[in-house]
Homo-oligomer: A and B are copies of this chain.
């Protein structure tokens, strides 16, 4: 896999996106290589050509792809939390996103599937949360320079993660609404 012609890169891309779509819809446990092959009009040899280590290798790429999406979906709000109105917009954005995907949280499903075994998965997840928390903390510093920005950001990340978990578990979006709203409110009146 030293060189990679444009055609090859396109195929690889098609595989990742097709697999991501399938997994988002049906869950990683219910998607086999044959399903991915069929959905992306590829062959077995292509799958293993672009992902020499097999399925786990592919799921890793899918996980990285999904992690990107999580943060991208929150732009431009997340990177510009400079007024309370912006904070509100961001919150609404996050809630809307989760309300839309309902019980289908691709990242939690993937991490659960890949598990703690693979340290590379941990890096992806940790990195994503780290960037996420960093951007929130930056926002906190602009509206509340005196607050413990990292702590507040950690609280918000926790509230979001909890809200998402409860959404998946109980199909109830209110946990996310309450958690995020309270965290922002808390910051505001500090």
Contacts and interface: CB of A to CB of B under 8 A. Distances in A.
Chain copies in the assembled complex:
2
A76 interface: no
Nearest to A181: B155
Contacts of A162: 157-163, 165, 179
A113 B161 contact: no
A175 interface: yes
Interface stretch (A1-9, A34-42, A166-174): A166-174
A178 interface: yes
Main secondary structure of the interface of A (DSSP, over half): helix
A32 B154 CA distance: 37
A143 interface: no
A39 B151 CA distance: 44
Nearest to A115: B27
Interface stretch (A52-60, A81-89, A104-112): A104-112
Given A108-B112, A112-B109, A170-B125, A178 B165 contact: no
A100 interface: no
A109 B126 CA distance: 19
A69 to B, nearest CB: 17
Given A157-B162, A182-B186, 15 more contacts: A27-B115, A29-B29, A108-B165, A111-B168, A111-B169, A122-B171, A129-B166, A157-B166, A158-B159, A158-B176, A158-B179, A160-B162, A161-B161, A164-B165, A165-B165
